[in-house]
Amino acid sequence: MGVVRFVWNVILAVLLVALVIVVLGTGLGLVAARSWETEGLDDGRAEATWLWLEGRPIYYQDQGNHDALCVVLVHGHSPEGLEVWADNRTALARSGLRVVSVDLSGYGRSDRATEPVYSVREQAELLASVLNNLQVRDAIVVAHDWGSAVALQMALDQPQFVQQLVLVAPRLELESELAWRMALKV
């Protein structure tokens, strides 16, 4: 009987430790997600470039030769936004091209609404507004994942911005919600 009680106590101790780890991990995740959501716009970004559209801050980077052919990089469904293109952006700019990348609404450092409703059409309009403000026309638009749907929508609605489209692993529908919002529900 003593062995059974010992094994039972070990099982309960392991379950209690696992529960404490889950609770602490969830708390840490919520704190980290909320601080990321509300941190200052320019925190840690010497090269921060912002455009305010309809009162919302939109983060973008514009690198390279402004007189050269422009490549627009559109990120997919990734919380870090334009940072997924960091190596590509640098290499393209060094090759003499103008490279523009934008954090779409809800991604990266751009505006994140409390109750986001980010449709493909709204994101395409946002991207077109940024390109219009930067006086970009006839660009090569390279889009990844769900950004492909945004790029295609912009090409249909505002063809003056798109000379060529490159779709990398395109996904035209977004079945899940934003990753940073999912972390808050844990």
pTM above 0.85, yes or no: no
Residue 98 has pLDDT above 80, yes or no: yes
Whose CA is closest to 73, among 183, 167, 5? 167
Exposure on the CB side of residue 127, measured as CA atoms within 13 A: 40
C-alpha span between 88 and 61 (Å, rounded) = 13
| pLDDT band for position 19 (cuts 50, 70, 90) | confident
C-alpha span between 144 and 123 (Å, rounded) = 14
- For the segment 119-130, what is each residue's pLDDT rounded down to a tens digit? 899 999 999 999
27-31, 81-85, 140-144, 180-184, range with the lowest pLDDT: 180-184
